[in-house]
Amino acid sequence: MIIDTVTLYHVRMPLRNPFETSFGRIDTRDCLLIEIQSEGLTGYGECVADRDPGYSYETAQTAWHILSDFILPGLIGSAVADPADLQLRMAGVRGHQMAKAGLEMAVWDLLGKRQGLSLQKLLGGVQPRVDVGVSVGLQETPEALLQVVEGYLDQGYRRIKIKIKPGRDVNDTRIVRQHYPELRLQVDANSAYRLETASSLLPLDDLNLLLIEQPLAEDDLWDHSQLQRQFKTPLCLDESILSARHARQAIEMGACRIINIKTGRVGGLREALLIHNLCQSLNIPVWCGGMLETGVGRAANLAVASLPGFTLPGDISATERYYQQDITEERFDLNEDSTIDVPQAPGLGVQIEPQALKRFTLRSEKFSTRAA
């Protein structure tokens, strides 16, 4: 496919409720929407880098810089065969997985539209709907946390993840567990501990959790392997897994027993598929993480989560959990069995709502050859 033009949109959307983690609190969420025009078709991708470098070093602005100054100039006006070809051509740029993943997603969308196949079909996904849960941010008090959890259970969610940080960990988790002895419950520390301080988490081991997500630093596989030995509960890595190679090494050294797959963090859908295949061959459960995506990234997450190795519920909640208004015409609703339907139309299977995109765009720029 010839890449005729690429348009970048820096988007900022108000969240329905503030979202707080161990690295900060936000009430709006940034991302880049990437639009590719190719031979009469339009493809979209979402780059999940946020406004601040709290979750990863990437931000919406670094992604803009990497794409506009280093990746797009060599790409516009040229032919890209498929996502693997695109990755090869971006390989000279170190890191910046989220920037690369956003662009790659738009190429997958185009590929699907050209072939009349959904992203689910292209990837080899199988389930028509996928199990999902909700990721609950830090709340003011344990009582407030209980209320928020109850609200989501009333809506039909059957798996809850709560965010923890030092001082707001065992007590919060224990209270939720005491109220809901049978609930599928897990926690996420977003790298808030060190090996020396993580012993405070040991009581979590008696609370029958599905997993403990990313307790230690993002660049620290080794100390996770030391910590996992102290727990019966599986550790799950999020921030630390940037590629299939990281996944293999983490599994080999026993740094985790479960992996959270996020397309943005690992540099694209293709790498996500490779991690899935590796984990499936090694009997390591995987699940689909979330980055508060718009309808564009949410559609991709649903397709990914429908692959057969995704055996735990994803952090893919209904649109209304995040946004009053989305930039896609499609909204995603929760089914009664705590699932969401996987889009079936060609490509990502979503359409952009131009008025909404305009309303939430902070800046946009179209990149084309002079002739175009």
Q: Which residues are catalytic?
A: 163, 262
21, 140, 147, 274, 325 from 18: Cα distances, Å: 10, 11, 15, 34, 15
| Residue 297 engages ligand OSB in binding (rule: CB under 6 A) | no
Q: What does 33 bind: ligand OSB, Mg ion, none (CB cut-off 5 to 8 Å by kind)?
A: none
d(CA 265, CA 243): 8
Angular region, 90: left φ>0, alpha ψ -120 to 50, beta rest:
alpha
Q: Minimal distance in Å, beta carbon 234 to ligand OSB? A: 16
Residue placing its CB nearer to Mg ion in the complex, 120 or 191: 191
CA distances from residue 248 to 61, 180, 221, 279 in whole angstroms, order as listed: 31, 35, 11, 8
Q: Which of 4, 220, 315, 326 binds ligand OSB (CB under 6 A)?
A: 315
Minimum distance, C-beta of residue 77 to ligand OSB, in the bound complex (Å)? 35
Tell me if 240 sits within 8 A of 220, measured CB to CB: yes
Q: Answer for the pair 118, 147: CB distance below 8 angstroms, yes or no.
A: no
DSSP string, 312-324: S-BS---HHHH-S
Measured from the CB atom, the residue of 238 and 271 that comes closer to ligand OSB is 238
Residues 346-365 that bind ligand OSB (CB under 6 A): none
The contact pattern for Mg ion, residues 183-202, with x = CB under 5 A and - = no contact, is: -----x--------------
Torsion of CA 268, 271, 276, 278, to 10 degrees: -170
Contacting ligand OSB (CB under 6 A), which of 20, 46, 238, 326? 238
**Euclidean distance between CA atoms 241 and 254, whole angstroms:** 13
Of 218-226, 285-293, 345-353, 356-364: span binding ligand OSB (CB under 6 A) = 285-293
- List 97, 118, 120, 135, residue binding ligand OSB (CB under 6 A): 135
Which of Mg ion, ligand OSB, none sits in contact with 55, Cβ below 5 to 8 A by type?
ligand OSB
Return the closest-CA partner of residue 299 out of 337, 332, 256: 332
Least Cα distance to 211 among 199, 194, 195, 228 occurs for 228
- Minimum Å distance from CB 122 to ligand OSB? 23
* Binding residue (CB under 6 A) for ligand OSB from 37, 139, 190, 328: 190
Interacting residue with ligand OSB among 102, 267, 289, 346 (CB under 6 A): 289
Residues that bind ligand OSB (CB under 6 A): 55, 135, 188, 190, 238, 289-292, 315, 317
Residues that bind Mg ion (CB under 5 A): 188, 213, 238
